[in-house]
């Protein structure tokens, strides 16, 4: 367990990190959800945030995107982004694939994609439809009438319309049938080959396959931070931290 580091160690001086977060605090109502989260991601790598439900994984992503009130330092590519508005942050080259898809149900697939087009940039529809041929056929369908898996495709497709420096992906396999999970993981592997990804994941098997770097949160703090093979090596302690049973990984 050489890779295990104590919370707060991921300070400045991490050369080449694309996103670095230092001493992030956030509240939801009265509860202190994030209590000084610090970490950094590396370019062209998948950083997975793991942890039990409610430890602040999604809040971390949402704070990075300015969707949630927070304090602390968030730097993207060496630039302080805490004070920027969400759309300004996104335009720096980030994409967000939210938890529970969050596609616009009343809009068609084509409209959902059109909304994700960014001004002044050419959208890459070919790549999107190559990855998800099904979406091409369903362009005129209302997103709300599609299955969960199809909505997840659309949600990912939205983020892949443009090249991004960093993708924030929140539980992409949650609630999907096992067969779909492996399909999605294969697709994600393709994507992560050339884009940095900050991934929130509950499914340990998915994390094992995708992550290069793992951060484990517990009660609003980083408790483990290191290379995936090191952090995930000690099976029993990671299971204890994530609160998962052995059979959970079979999926």
Among 42, 52, 91, 174, contact with other proteins (rule: CB under 8 A)? 91
Q: Where are the beta strands (DSSP E) in 8-117?
A: 19-28, 31-41, 46-50, 70-76, 79-80, 94-97
Among 90, 169, 191, 197, contact with other proteins (rule: CB under 8 A)? 90
Backbone angles phi, psi at 145, to 5 degrees: -95, 0
- Which of 1/28 has CB closer to other proteins? 28
Q: Report the alpha-carbon distance of residue 30 to residue 34 in Å, rounded.
A: 12
Structure tokens at 245: 């049973």
Q: How far is the CB of 104 from other proteins (least distance, A)?
A: 4
Q: Is 85 a binder of other proteins (CB under 8 A)?
A: yes
Q: Is 67 a binder of other proteins (CB under 8 A)?
A: yes
Q: Report the alpha-carbon distance of residue 173 to residue 178 in Å, rounded.
A: 9
Q: Is 115 a binder of other proteins (CB under 8 A)?
A: yes
Q: Are 154 and 101 in contact (CB under 8 A)?
A: yes
Instruction: Of 111, 96, 74, give the one whose Cα is nearest residue 197.
Output: 96
Residues binding other proteins: number (CB under 8 A) = 27
Q: How far is the CB of 79 from other proteins (least distance, A)?
A: 16
Of 41-49, 111-119, 122-130, 234-242, the segment contacting other proteins by CB under 8 A is 111-119
Structure tokens at 150: 């199809």
Burial (CB < 10 A; 0-12, 13-18, 19+), residue 250, is: exposed
Q: Are 68 and 59 in contact (CB under 8 A)?
A: yes
Q: How far is the CB of 248 from other proteins (least distance, A)?
A: 24
Q: Is 44 a binder of other proteins (CB under 8 A)?
A: no
Q: How far is the CB of 176 from other proteins (least distance, A)?
A: 20
Among 76, 96, 132, 184, contact with other proteins (rule: CB under 8 A)? 96
Q: Are 40 and 21 in contact (CB under 8 A)?
A: yes
Q: How far is the CB of 67 from other proteins (least distance, A)?
A: 5
Among 13, 15, 106, 140, contact with other proteins (rule: CB under 8 A)? 106
Q: Is 51 a binder of other proteins (CB under 8 A)?
A: no
Cβ count within 10 A of residue 180:
17
Give the footprint of other proteins on this chain (CB under 8 A). 28-30, 62, 65, 67-69, 85-87, 90-91, 96, 98, 102, 104-107, 111-112, 114-116, 118, 158
């Amino acid at each position: 367990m050489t890779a295990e580091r104590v919370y707060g160690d991921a300070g400045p001086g991490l050369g080449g990190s694309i996103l670095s977060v230092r001493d992030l605090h956030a509240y939801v109502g009265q509860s202190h959800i994030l209590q000084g989260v610090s970490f950094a991601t590396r370019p062209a790598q998948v950083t997975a945030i793991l942890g039990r439900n409610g430890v602040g994984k999604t809040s971390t992503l949402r704070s990075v995107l300015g969707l949630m009130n927070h304090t602390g330092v968030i730097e993207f590519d060496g630039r302080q982004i805490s004070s920027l508005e969400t759309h300004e942050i996104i335009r720096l080259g980030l994409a967000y694939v939210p938890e529970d898809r969050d596609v616009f149900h009343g809009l068609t697939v084509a409209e959902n994609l059109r909304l994700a087009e960014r001004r002044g940039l050419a959208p890459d529809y070919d790549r999107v439809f190559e990855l998800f041929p099904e979406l091409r056929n369903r362009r005129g369908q209302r997103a709300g009438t599609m299955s969960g898996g199809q909505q997840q495709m659309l949600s990912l497709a939205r983020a892949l319309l443009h090249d991004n420096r960093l993708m924030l992906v929140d539980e992409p396999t949650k609630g999907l049938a096992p067969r779909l999970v492996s399909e999605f993981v294969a697709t994600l592997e393709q994507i992560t080959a050339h884009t940095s990804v900050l991934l929130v994941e509950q499914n340990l098997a998915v994390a094992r396959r995708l992550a290069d770097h793992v951060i484990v949160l517990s009660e609003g703090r980083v408790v483990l931070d290191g290379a995936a093979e090191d952090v995930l090596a000690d099976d029993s302690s990671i299971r204890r931290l994530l609160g998962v049973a052995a059979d959970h990984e079979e999926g």
